[in-house]
Structure 1
């Protein structure tokens, strides 16, 4: 049961999600998986058993990185922008939802695998399997004995019916007579039954769903609404999906660099350029608020680092810092976003939550230092988003798969392209700056301290911003990038897959130093004191 891979979206895959919490893969990914699972149940959910493979990354990090938080919020249909998401345990108890997490050895292939058994108040039980693929993106891969491919960008109709061979075509024809033609239809047989999964760009009327349930031979129906901001359709097409294709297009269609990002997303989402610009403007406002909120000072009990972003200004006034106002503005802006994130403030994962400071902090910090307009900052975001699309198409944003080079590293490459745009560079220079920045971070490990997305994440975000500015200046000065962007991305993906598991978002490297282990004991003790029991609530 296969379908063609649809093009990545700037707002789905790169600049987003808008959320609270420590990790986009863990919090947003878990929330989206749980949201779809919740939609699949006819009644209110009362019990969920979630298995993580002992050899995957979730076994060790699901508590500290926010998987438990995201999953509970998804089951409760609670937006991750809600200020009370960190109260998930209490709220789930009040909602009568019992969630149990088990660590088992069941041979999961992907490190972000979820195996779930869900029960609702009617006694209905469903079994799902899914993966979080990075940056909040997901894929539901199994429903009962059937393989599925559900990513949250379509209206999904799943019909289970008698699987006798002569009846298969009849069922599909009956469904189409009620719903109309689907954008995609996928069929899977198993255990004498047939699953017909029809994907639509538009919603299905409740009356149609009721009529479907009454069809003879139909034993179960599931209807799922999209959980991603940009929806998909059967006619989804984009003008370019690699840097090489973009530059070939640019040769024939000259525009300012940022306009290629706007044009791409308008094609991908089937919407107007004005709507795309409006959406990015909303995202920039959230990023600006995250910077300003962090600079105002943040407080939160369950974190390793306290507020530090204000220290840059004071040290600069006292003449303690190397005199470089734009860079120092970027450092404090990146720090401010990371502190907003660590205090459960609202941020934009761009491209991930662990790397959420690099891109916005660089664009906003540099923009303010140079007295650039909001419009110029927004233009930088569009170029960055396009670079991120090429990265997502050819690699991954999951540190569990590729280490921190695909999170802070990818954010640095995106920021480098944005800086070139903000300095008035061409699309060729933007692409080359991204390649240089990415070449500088190959092999970057993901080794979080204390099961928290704080250390060394803050420093790596700041490093990413500094690297972005240096790489942009190199290209603007006429340096040779040598390796084209697409080849650099492919090399990073190969390097990431070669990293030991311990250096891909688990307890390796800095995470298993003596000091880190002492911090881990403190954070685990704090969690156990606040929870009723370990692994469940």
Structure 2
């Protein structure tokens, strides 16, 4: 089945704790699926990384270990116990080991996990694809494709013919037979599969070895025959040629069709996210504490200096810088944030939109609408590129966040669809080819500066688009170019803790000091 991005799956979300969505939220989701595979019965776990991937050097400092532990324990990505998940995993008697070996992995964010208990041993190979999104690509060495947006039933069997006869006689199910007929993967759309009668029939078959159910880990599920009216900006413009819908109306139309949810549900989902973001900003401005981080609570002093009129007056810009900083500090102190589109770029979009809205005195409803407008720009990026800095550099993270923010800001200023798209294109054009080299293997610097830059240029380009500046290159072409350039960035400059700022003498001293504290 074709997988289509969702605003709430791929673009604005998940709600989470931790420094990196590619590491923390994604690994937690992978761990949750692993837990289901062995029916919550885990004794020993071996997690292996490829030496040429990004996780070999970053899995501890950027939170993969923490996320995996939370997933193995069945937690959510915003669980308050996550910072101490290593203690909890030990207390329940699960032994976890980490190893580095040549996996011949094609993706930089590859996890190879071996789970065992007294009855069985299972293996899972999965990848983190960016922004907390995942794909399980193999189970027990058998190629699969599980994205976490379906209820999945795995039937281990000796033969498939009798099983398929039964399934086809009951009703029409979508299934995939792989690995010489030894495994049938049935993709389903309802938690009720299989029925009690069908379950009993399957269990009675000599050919059936075991049945395992994997629950979805994404908030918006997929379904059979899913269709959307468009998935790129050009397709949207063609679709809208004779309809004259606003970008907000088109965003709602897309998400409604994608998730089979109503306009009211979409608004309420985004309202919940906006309120979480506002709480995160508030908490950040009250000051945050956390031992394992580079930067302290700087947004508090920014607010004080702003209130005392000690800063250069820039209107909305100063509020935006303050909000972006607060969000990044909450992230780095293991507070609750929203990946937008990633945790490493969690400040740019909400900081720009909410900060500008507060300066203008705009209502919560208008913020919600602006975030949905930003979300549809993110859909175009997710469809044609990636949000993973490990794959294509940091431009695809904070550049995307700034691009989305610019479109949302144009909406707040009552600009047109064309102006929102132009602003989004202008931001991406100015953030192409940026490296991802977090200092001391912590997602704080230059991440904070990158988020502030993305948020502030979003304001500038929104105003330029409102003033009629010509973006020249259509948004889709810029997105495609961003991906090509990002893929061409050398491996050591894409969140691997090998080259760039993280390899400087001072960065290594800082990293050693932080690691000594642990």
2:120 is matched with which residue? 124
SS of the residue 2:378 aligns to: helix
Paired residues of 1:115 and 1:129 also in contact (CA < 8 A) = yes
- Helix, strand or coil: the match of 2:414? coil
The equivalent residue for 1:513 is 504
How many pairs were matched up? 515
Report if the CA contact (8 A) 2:47-2:113 is conserved. yes
Structure 2 residue 283 is matched with structure 1 residue 299? no
The correspondence for 1:265, drawn from 255, 269, 274, is 255
Q: Which residue of 2 aligns with 1:80?
A: 77
Runs of 4+ in 1 over 6 A off after TM superposition: none
Paired residue for 1:530?
none
Query: Helix, strand or coil for the counterpart of 1:251?
Result: coil
Equivalent residue of 1:310, what SS? Answer: helix
The answer as to whether partners of 2:285 and 2:303 remain within 8 angstroms in 1 is no
Paired residues for 1:176-215 under 5 Å: 176-178=168-170, 180-182=171-173, 184-190=174-180, 193-203=181-191, 204-205=193-194, 207=196, 208-215=198-205
Deviation at 1:466, TM superposition (A): 0.7
**Aligned match for 2:421, one of 404, 416, 431:** 431
Shift in Å, 1:467: 1.1
- Pairing 1:175–2:171 present: no
1:115 equivalent in structure 2:
112
CA contact (8 A) 2:45 2:97 kept: yes
| C-alpha distance in 2 between matches for 1:279 and 1:115 | 34
* Worse overlay, 395-404 or 196-205: 196-205
User: 8 Å contact 2:48–2:98 — kept in the other structure?
Assistant: yes
* Aligned counterparts of 1:214 and 1:519: Cα–Cα separation in 2: 61
The 1-side partners of 2:76 and 2:334 are apart by 13
SS at match of 2:342: coil
TM-score by length of 2: 0.97
Out of 132, 135, 144, the position equivalent to 2:131 is 135
Once the two structures are superposed, the pairs formed by residues 32-111 of structure 1 within 5 Å of their partners are 32-111=29-108
CA–CA separation in structure 1 for the residues paired with 2:199 and 2:411: 49
CA–CA distance in structure 1, aligned partners of residues 383 and 421 of structure 2: 15
SS of the residue aligned with 2:299? coil
2:322 corresponds to 1:335: no
Q: CA RMSD in A?
A: 1.3
Q: Do 2:66 and 2:82's aligned partners in 1 also have CA atoms closer than 8 Å?
A: yes
- Could you tell me how far apart the structure 2 residues matched to 1:505 and 1:189 are? 35
Deviations 1:322-371 (A, max 9, x none): 21120000000000111111111111001000000111111111100111
Q: CA deviation digits over 1:182-229, x for unaligned, max 9?
A: 2x3211124xx4221111111125624343222231122221111100
Provide Cα deviations, 1:14-59, integer angstroms capped at 9, x if missing partner: 1100000111010111011110111011352111101100000000
Map of 1:71-470 to 2, 5 A cutoff? 71-120=68-117, 122-163=118-159, 168-178=160-170, 180-182=171-173, 184-190=174-180, 193-203=181-191, 204-205=193-194, 207=196, 208-470=198-460
Q: Secondary structure at the match of 2:43?
A: strand
Do 2:348 and 2:401's aligned partners in 1 also have CA atoms closer than 8 Å? yes
Q: 1:352 to 1:427 in 2, by over 3 A?
A: same
Shift of residue 319, structure 1, vs aligned partner: 4.1
1:311 Cα deviation (Å)? 2.1
The question of whether the paired residues in 1 share the 8 Å contact of 2:163 and 2:202 is answered with no
Which digits, 9 at most, give the CA deviation of each residue in 1:482-507, with x for residues without a partner? 00000000000000110001110122
How far apart are the structure 2 equivalents of 1:397 and 1:80? 19
User: In the alignment, is the contact (CA less than 8 A) between 2:320 and 2:355 conserved in 1?
Assistant: yes
TM-aligned CA deviation for residue 381 of structure 1: 0.5
**Offset, 1:250:** 2.2
From the superposition, tell whether residues 210 and 52 of structure 1 become closer, same or farther in structure 2 (CA, over 3 Å).
farther
What stretches of structure 1 of length at least 5 have no aligned partner?
528-537
* 1:277-332 per-position Cα deviation (integer Å, ceiling 9, x unaligned): 11111111111111111011111111111101122233234444221120000000
Tell me which moved more, 482-491 or 426-435. Answer: 426-435
Q: 2 CA distance for matches of 1:7 and 1:260?
A: 16
**Distance in 2 (alpha carbons) for counterparts of 1:170 and 1:46:** 34
Give yes or no for contact 2:42–2:116 (8 Å, CA) kept in 1.
Answer: yes
Q: TM-score, normalised by structure 1?
A: 0.94
2:419·2:468 contact (CA, 8 Å) conserved in 1? Answer: no
Q: Distance in 2 between matches of 1:412 and 1:43?
A: 41
